[in-house]
Structure 1
Amino acid sequence: MPERRDALTRAEDGTVHIAGPSAGPAFTRAVLEVAGAVLTWPVLGPTGLPAAEIHDVGQAQQWLWAVYGERTAAAVDAVAQGTPAAELTPPEQPTALAEAAARLALGHWAARWWPTSHLDGFPALEPDVLGLELAALTHECQQLLDESGELEGAALLEEHLAALDPLIRWRQSAAPPRQLDRVLRLIDDAADNTGLDGEALRRLRSALEQDRTPSATPMDLAELRVPRQEFALAAGSSLRTATGRVIARGSGTNDWCRYPPGFVDAAENAVSWTAYALGAGRRIEVEVVADIAAPVGGVRLVAEVRVEGSPPNRVPLARRDDVWTGRADLDIPASTTPSIEVGVLLPGFDPGPGAEGGAAREAVRALARHRLGVAAAPHDSEGAHPDPFLAEIAAAAVEEDF
């Protein structure tokens, strides 16, 4: 295999860039904000060392050498001072800090982009379980972080303490995940460093100070699962209110980048529409299978409807049970069978439709399917795959009931 060389360049605004593996749409990139820089890994390919956008070289020097090696740290400093761009030969193996950072970034990716879908059978990752592991990883990566990053780690720990007692019980059960003890010890150390206290943290410290006496039976991982509403509807289910003749129907585009996480089921066919003839008029009805979240403050999801390539019309959607629905009259000649494109977005959040998103979304689903398969038998995968997150192990265990 040829030796990897990463380009090191300086932009006009003084930002120093370390090139890395290319990545596609936002939902295929694992991103981590660190002291003086932003690091990016591709989710769908080999991770290795990240690409870096360094906006404060002085701050970044606290960790550059520990991630990329001393030669790279010196070269970054030289390029920032105005020397020509350079090619770098990074370490053959990622350092311990680089591996921990990649895992932390992937965990944040999972919190944002995991393709939870009732239609496709992808269970949600329990946010408290994932949040506690992210807090532990944040503490492990504290060399990378500035004060705001350390505060974020403390906030994660405090926000997700509800999962701590179940994790302690999991540790005492038969055959707990191999990383669980380390995660709990990092949580204990992080709480000590930040001055957090409470009954759950005191129970954790007591448990860690005693020899582990595992139970004879494995833990029922349903204890880690937050109850969710049951889905009564599926894509294409009928909420028809129009009484006219159906002239066209189809599936829309479910672009994950156009709304926040948790608003819409991540399945590709979660957006559906039907066009009706009502006398000489035409009407479209849009249905979108909902996930667990909803906008607040009067903001509503909307459907973006294009007819024959026309400028988009936005149709407000209202939530009813587990489906967002909306309808609008269309300006379509009576003799025409229309070509209609429908997407869903949240106004004020939407960055605009992406290109080639469908193939990338399917690749993310394949990745999630693979990770759940590994998580279903974590003790059989040692050395073959990175450890799954605790939340993935829990999700894989309850997947049959999803």
Structure 2
Amino acid sequence: MTPTYTGVHVRRDADGAIRITTDRGSGPGGPVPDRAGDAADPGFGLAVLDAAGAVLTWPVLHGSGLPSAEVHDTRRAQQWLWALYGESVAAAVQDLASGEQGGVRVTAGVTALADGAARLAFGHWAARWWPASYTDGIPALDPGVLGLELAALTHRCHQLFDDRSDQPDDCAAELIQEHLAALDPLIQWWRAPSPHRDAGRRLGDVLRLIDDAADSTGLDGPELRRLRSALDRPGPAGATADPTALFARPDGYALAAGEKPAAGGRVIARGSGVNDWRRYPPGFVDAAEDAVSWTARALGARRRIEVEVLAHAAAPDGGASLVAEIQVDDGRPDRIPLARRDEVWEGRAGLDLPAESTEPTVEVGILLPGFDPGPGPEHPAGPDGATDRARRDAIRALARHRLAAADRPPAHDAARHRPFAPEPLLAETAAAATDEDY
């Protein structure tokens, strides 16, 4: 791989942390600094990786091969800084670690480790933020396929981690054990004739890395023994393996018990709520912007609000339940529990409307108690006036672009304008091959 070079800013702040930021292309006034750590960026706009002694971040929509980094333990970080950024950056970090507050600008190379780290971070991002939506036509990623590729990438990027337990992303063995059920389908996909030649290469790389990771951590079992046997006897299995059959999605939605109550009453207002992805875990809600809807009804002198939220196909039927947070005008927010029924989460409760309010402003959001970090700002932020909704739309566009590109190699001239984690993940390739129902 021909090395690519980029400008890097290394500085030591008053709190003692050393921050590394990269130039993000060029603008009219010269290099544009990477704003990955900008507070205006929402959580779903960043891919994050916990490394030894540092936290690495890539802006998903405007990323490059190199991350920004906040180094809090330079001694631990020195084991990988040179391999990720090159000797100039590693030396600058070492010099600043014992010096005064200040900074320097040096040149870094985009290394093989940088490429693997970017893919690993993007995979963790996809596990949390991939905008799966039936109504938006964005298929979900198979968690088993994604988990096994994350295990392989973690093993490939082992230089980033050490033997301490404060790095949650150093989890190759745990990921392999959690997703063993997806290993046999991956082997079948690899060994079967396929028009996806690039996918076959990536499948082989992933399976060899999983085998090596399992061997180095002492994992064993029938699935891993079948993997080793397949790797010892490479070649077509003789039958076509259809990803649609190998990685079948849940067929429809589970039916909730009971009968849906009749609505009744006179509709006095209705609208859409805010679908803030940060307020619930992945796999609970369809990621569409209009997935949250509400209706206010008059039943005699009483007022009632009904909330419906389009569920993710994998949403749980029991256990943890979402709630709707409802605010009328400037009043105190109230919460009502939502129950899973067919393809929706739904709930209803009495609505306290001020007698003088003829056109009340009703705001509805959804969240999972105990997980929710609080609502994100739904107002213009940053110099481009982008809102959280615009950022969510950009994430959806990114997902569609990556799915469309999953069956073909990147254009030859794309190297100069290389998007974040350009090579598709196996889970994206499988999703692109099985999205006929979306």
* TM-score of the aligned structures, taking structure 1 as reference length: 0.91
Q: Output the CA distance in 1 between the equivalents of 2:236 and 2:253.
A: 40
2:331 pairs with one of 301, 310, 314: 310
2:424 pairs with one of 377, 388, 392: 388
Which residue of 1 is the match for residue 81 of structure 2? 64
Residue 168 (structure 1) aligned with residue 166 (structure 2)? no
Q: Output the CA distance in 2 between the equivalents of 1:35 and 1:132.
A: 22
Q: Verify the 8 A CA contact 1:378 1:388 in the aligned structure 2.
A: no
Residue 378 (structure 1) aligned with residue 408 (structure 2)? yes
Q: Verify the 8 A CA contact 1:118 1:231 in the aligned structure 2.
A: no
Which residue of 1 is the match for residue 311 of structure 2? 290
Structure 1: gaps (5+ residues): 234-238
Which residue of 2 is the match for residue 15 of structure 1? 17
2:106 pairs with one of 84, 89, 110: 89
Residue 103 (structure 1) aligned with residue 133 (structure 2)? no
Q: Verify the 8 A CA contact 1:224 1:394 in the aligned structure 2.
A: no
SS of 1:179's equivalent? helix
Q: Output the CA distance in 2 between the equivalents of 1:169 and 1:275.
A: 52
Residue 45 (structure 1) aligned with residue 62 (structure 2)? yes
SS of 1:64's equivalent? helix
Which residue of 1 is the match for residue 220 of structure 2? 197
How far off is 1:101 after superposition?
A: 0.3
**Number of positions where the alignment pairs a residue of Structure 1 with one of Structure 2:** 392
Judged with a 3 Å threshold, the aligned counterparts in structure 2 of structure 1 residues 171 and 153 are, in CA distance, closer, same or farther, namely: same
How far off is 1:378 after superposition?
A: 3.2
1:35 pairs with one of 52, 76, 82: 52
The worse-fitting range, judged by mean Cα deviation, of 151-160 and 382-391 is 382-391
SS of 1:378's equivalent? coil
CA deviation profile, 1:269-305 (whole Å, cap 9, x unmatched): 11000011122222111111112233875x4311111
Q: Verify the 8 A CA contact 1:166 1:223 in the aligned structure 2.
A: no
Could you tell me which amino acid in structure 2 is paired with residue 320 of structure 1?
R
1:276 pairs with one of 286, 297, 302: 297
Residue 359 (structure 1) aligned with residue 390 (structure 2)? yes
The worse-fitting range, judged by mean Cα deviation, of 143-152 and 277-286 is 143-152
SS of 1:61's equivalent? helix
Residue 332 (structure 1) aligned with residue 334 (structure 2)? no
Could you tell me which amino acid in structure 2 is paired with residue 370 of structure 1?
H
Q: Verify the 8 A CA contact 2:293 2:308 in the aligned structure 1.
A: yes
Q: Verify the 8 A CA contact 1:378 1:393 in the aligned structure 2.
A: no
Judged with a 3 Å threshold, the aligned counterparts in structure 2 of structure 1 residues 38 and 134 are, in CA distance, closer, same or farther, namely: same
How far off is 1:399 after superposition?
A: 0.1
2:252 pairs with one of 230, 249, 271: 230
Q: Output the CA distance in 2 between the equivalents of 1:107 and 1:77.
A: 30
Judged with a 3 Å threshold, the aligned counterparts in structure 2 of structure 1 residues 365 and 151 are, in CA distance, closer, same or farther, namely: closer
Could you tell me which amino acid in structure 1 is paired with residue 62 of structure 2?
G
Structure 2: gaps (5+ residues): 23-33, 378-386
Which residue of 2 is the match for residue 132 of structure 1? 148
CA deviation profile, 1:191-228 (whole Å, cap 9, x unmatched): 1111111222122112212242464x642112332441
How far off is 1:142 after superposition?
A: 0.2
Q: Verify the 8 A CA contact 2:338 2:346 in the aligned structure 1.
A: yes
SS of 1:349's equivalent? coil
Which residue of 2 is the match for residue 207 of structure 1? 230
* TM-score of the aligned structures, taking structure 2 as reference length: 0.84
SS of 2:110's equivalent? coil
Q: Output the CA distance in 2 between the equivalents of 1:360 and 1:278.
A: 39
SS of 1:40's equivalent? strand
Could you tell me which amino acid in structure 1 is paired with residue 399 of structure 2?
A
Which residue of 2 is the match for residue 236 of structure 1? none
Q: Output the CA distance in 2 between the equivalents of 1:380 and 1:359.
A: 26
Q: Output the CA distance in 1 between the equivalents of 2:8 and 2:269.
A: 51
Could you tell me which amino acid in structure 2 is paired with residue 360 of structure 1?
R
How far off is 1:380 after superposition?
A: 7.3
